[in-house]
């Protein structure tokens, strides 16, 4: 299609400057007001200063998407960088719901994500410099562009609840404001379209009152619409409002986009700014993490911002690049690792409100059933390797042992483990009842159709696919998921009081399922298939992480885990970013913090083939958002773990991190944990129970210890071997674990930076 460029008019708008702060600076003060756990918290000023020290900054113009600032609300996404080959600044305009609806062409072309377009800000003079900041505290992009004619001051954000891009520009000197919108063809960015594939028609420009509309009709029905408003020039200030909507099969997107823009305009800029900032400020206060390594500390906070900008419960589950769609060979949702890694960060950070996996599976159970062949739909369900946001692909989940192809059947069960994590971190029984039990029952039923007894008296699985490696009978990927699935169903059956007739079968599977195939090098891919070629994925090690079906608590298992990790990483050619983050988390599970950090830092090493990028995004040719988010989870695994009904405080903190602070870190059992480490030791722990679960904590505090309420009164507790304390803590109760004597100073504050580092971005 010929490029279409539509001028958006010329106005300007006064912009507020970014909050002051220098990366690496310490925050000295805290507020005196106590929160509900009795811990002194950060004040508004402290939060602004602390997060300003984590902000990415740009002193050079980013040339690529993996370098620039990014904005989003879980649906509408934008990345800001130089327009290729031109004297202009690009604001990408992409939307997580925009996709095709022709499943006969598969996930790569038929139900794939589709581009929307981009804006260009085109100055009068030649761009000579930039000074930009991604203001995390306010959820805004701010800065200046210097040109040969003058200066443009910028502020932009995607309103976090209204899904509207607000971009403000104030010119000075001889500069002026000119926006141009460029629609992009609504066709898959994946190469080699299948036979019979016809591109969607070109978009059409229209006007509706004060708004311009770009309407993209779809061959399959439905439409995408981009609406934007550019009021008349007033006092040299310019405010652009833009929204995108997608509808299928109805043709309502145009009306929806116009409504979003008009409601934003009627609210006014001041109202939009205030409500947007209020949301972000409340969001950050849900938890707090401070590390002595400035670069990693900033990275963690940027990932938290990225996750909130990329997804929300009830919204679109993140595709491989989140809402920041760029040309990709993977323009869909990938269920054999990508989705799972994208959402681990939400649990420890106390942000389960971002869990789109649970809502996606809950709301699309009918499609999950349709994903298996008709003869299995009476009792089974599944999801393919790649689908649209509703789990639709256009072909059936493969059958184990069919011969040929790659029968990858465990992905739904693995995705349900993420739902299980949300349940365990909230203890919300409705998640167990409405999502985990009914869907997991069907996912395990699908396996039961193919599990058969062998001559050894064990249940065996015919050939399935270990993601990204190859096929094998008794594939460890699937055996781990079957074991976890049956244990979880038995737990749910008892917790919900269901008395399901299949419980006898689940117990039989746990008794008789073939052991994990292993050899002298550790866990194999499956029976007769050793791990003998480099493999970026850890599908054959899922029982170690994240399922914790095999743990280092048993010395024999610990040796097996160590051997398996060592052999996995001995063959390096295919390793990618999440190979390092996965190994870091596994080693953290063994309590080996220094080694965990060493593996994690390989992801940050620019000499590796695929390191994290300047803006903390990631690419393996195509953009893939999951790996940096999994790196944040690796940090969580060093700081706090809670698998196996035991909370572990600072279980794998590297020796060089003498000081660490966490506040309201959410654990399994629904506990909010606050803890301070100083001088290489845990000084105190506060536990707030949100569900009344049994409370067992490995604390790391020098004994003798004491357990008190925040007012100093005693709490009943018992001590167990290995530095474990059991606390009688009811729902809503709070306990402080501390050295014997008076209550310590329960102050939450950032730790002193011992490892300085430059800001992210292009400083």
Task: For residue 187, give the nearest of 44, 327, 63 by alpha carbon.
Answer: 327
Note the pLDDT of residue 230. 78
Answer yes or no: are the C-beta atoms of 674 and 685 closer than 8 Å: yes
Calpha distance 482→414 (Å, rounded): 10
- Going by the DSSP 8-state scheme, the letter that residue 433 receives in this structure is I
**Residue 268 in tokens:** 């006014």
CATH code linked to domain 6-18+60-258: 2.70.98.50
Note the pLDDT of residue 405. 87
Calpha distance 55→529 (Å, rounded): 47
As a whole-number percent, the residues of the chain with pLDDT over 70 amount to 94
Using DSSP bridges, classify how beta strands 761-762 and 57-58 pair: parallel, antiparallel or unpaired. parallel
The structure's pTM equals 0.94
Note the pLDDT of residue 237. 79
For the stretch 406-459, pLDDT in tens is 999 999 999 999 999 999 999 999 999 999 999 999 999 999 999 999 999 999
Calpha distance 168→240 (Å, rounded): 6
Answer yes or no: are the C-beta atoms of 333 and 346 closer than 8 Å: no
Low-confidence ranges of the chain (pLDDT < 50): 1-37, 234
**What order of strands is seen across the sheet that includes strand 211-217?**
204-208, 211-217, 223-229, 238-247, 165-173, 150-158, 140-147, 127-135, 57-58, 761-762
Calpha distance 623→50 (Å, rounded): 30
Note the pLDDT of residue 319. 97
Using DSSP bridges, classify how beta strands 705-708 and 734-739 pair: parallel, antiparallel or unpaired. antiparallel
Calpha distance 419→430 (Å, rounded): 12
Note the pLDDT of residue 39. 75
CA of 34: how far to CAs of 38, 363, 420, in Å? 5, 40, 33
Task: For residue 550, give the nearest of 541, 677, 594, 731 by alpha carbon.
Answer: 541
- Going by the DSSP 8-state scheme, the letter that residue 759 receives in this structure is P
Note the pLDDT of residue 98. 98
Calpha distance 101→221 (Å, rounded): 8
């Amino acid at each position: 299609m010929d490029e279409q460029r539509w001028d958006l008019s010329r106005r300007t708008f006064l912009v507020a400057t970014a909050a002051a702060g220098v990366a690496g600076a310490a925050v000295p003060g805290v507020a005196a007001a106590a929160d509900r756990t009795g811990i002194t918290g950060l004040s508004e000023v402290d939060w602004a200063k602390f997060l300003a020290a984590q902000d990415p900054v740009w002193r050079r113009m980013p040339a690529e998407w993996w370098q620039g600032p990014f904005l989003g609300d879980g649906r509408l996404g934008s990345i800001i960088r130089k327009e290729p080959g031109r004297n202009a600044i690009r604001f990408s305009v992409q939307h997580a719901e925009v996709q095709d609806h022709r499943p006969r062409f598969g996930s790569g072309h038929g139900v794939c994500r589709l581009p929307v377009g981009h804006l260009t800000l085109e100055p009068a003079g030649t761009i000579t410099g930039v000074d930009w900041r991604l203001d995390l505290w306010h959820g805004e992009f701010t800065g200046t562009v210097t040109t040969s004619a003058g200066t443009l001051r910028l502020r932009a954000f995607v309103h976090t609840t209204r899904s509207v891009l607000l971009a403000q520009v104030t010119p000075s000197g001889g500069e002026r404001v000119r926006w141009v919108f460029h629609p992009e063809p609504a066709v898959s960015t994946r190469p080699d379209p299948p036979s019979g594939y016809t591109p969607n028609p070109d978009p059409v420009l229209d006007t509706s009152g004060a708004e311009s509309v770009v309407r993209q009709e779809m061959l399959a029905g439905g439409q995408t619409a981009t609406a934007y408003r550019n009021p008349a020039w007033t006092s040299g200030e310019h405010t652009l409002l833009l929204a995108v909507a997608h509808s299928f099969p109805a043709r309502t997107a145009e009306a929806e986009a116009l409504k979003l823009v008009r409601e934003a305009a009627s609210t006014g800029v001041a109202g939009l700014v205030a409500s947007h900032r209020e949301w972000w400020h409340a969001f950050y206060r849900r938890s707090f993490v401070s590390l002595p390594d400035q670069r990693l500390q900033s990275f963690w906070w940027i990932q938290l911002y990225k996750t909130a900008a990329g997804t929300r419960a009830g919204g679109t589950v993140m595709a491989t690049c989140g809402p920041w769609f760029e040309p990709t060979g993977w323009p869909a949702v990938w269920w054999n690792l990508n989705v799972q890694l994208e959402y681990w960060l939400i649990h420890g950070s106390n942000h389960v409100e971002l869990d789109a996996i649970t809502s996606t599976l809950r709301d699309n159970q009918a499609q999950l059933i349709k994903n298996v062949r008709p003869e299995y739909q009476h009792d089974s369900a599944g999801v393919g390797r790649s689908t649209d946001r509703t789990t639709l692909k256009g072909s059936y989940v493969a059958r184990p042992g069919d011969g040929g192809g790659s029968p990858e059947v465990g992905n739904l069960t693995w995705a349900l483990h993420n739902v299980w994590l949300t349940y365990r971190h909230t203890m919300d029984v409705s998640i167990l009842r409405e999502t985990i039990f009914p869907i997991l029952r069907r996912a395990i039923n699908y396996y039961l159709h193919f599990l058969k007894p062998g001559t050894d008296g064990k249940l065996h699985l015919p050939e399935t696919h270990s993601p990204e490696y190859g096929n094998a009978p008794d594939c460890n990927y699937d055996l781990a998921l079957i074991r976890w699935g049956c244990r979880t169903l038995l737990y749910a059956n008892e917790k919900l009081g269901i008395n399901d007739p299949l419980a006898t079968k689940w117990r039989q599977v746990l008794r008789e399922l073939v052991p994990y195939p292993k050899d002298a090098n550790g866990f194999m891919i499956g029976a007769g298939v050793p791990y003998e070629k480099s493999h970026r994925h850890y599908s054959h090690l899922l029982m170690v992480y994240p399922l914790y079906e095999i743990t280092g608590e048993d010395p024999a298992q610990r040796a097996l885990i160590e051997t398996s990790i060592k052999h996995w990483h001995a063959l390096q050619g295919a390793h990618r970013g999440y190979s390092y983050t996965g190994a870091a988390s596994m080693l953290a599970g063994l309590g080996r913090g220094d080694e965990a950090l060493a593996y994690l830092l390989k992801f940050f090493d620019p000499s590796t083939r695929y390191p994290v990028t300047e803006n903390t995004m990631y690419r393996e040719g195509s953009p893939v958002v999951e790996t940096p988010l999994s790196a944040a989870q690796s940090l969580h695994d060093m700081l706090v773990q809670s698998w196996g009904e035991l909370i572990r405080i600072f279980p794998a903190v590297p020796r060089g991190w003498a000081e660490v602070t966490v506040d309201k870190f959410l654990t399994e059992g629904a506990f909010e944990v606050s803890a301070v480490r100083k001088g290489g030791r845990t000084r105190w722990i506060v536990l707030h129970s949100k569900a009344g679960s049994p409370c067992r904590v490995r604390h790391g505090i020098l004994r003798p210890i004491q357990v008190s309420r925040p007012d100093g009164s005693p709490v009943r507790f018992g001590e167990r071997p290995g530095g474990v304390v059991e606390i009688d803590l009811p729902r809503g109760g709070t306990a402080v674990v501390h050295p014997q004597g008076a209550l310590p100073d329960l102050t939450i504050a950032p730790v002193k930076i011992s490892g300085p580092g430059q800001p992210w971005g292009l400083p």
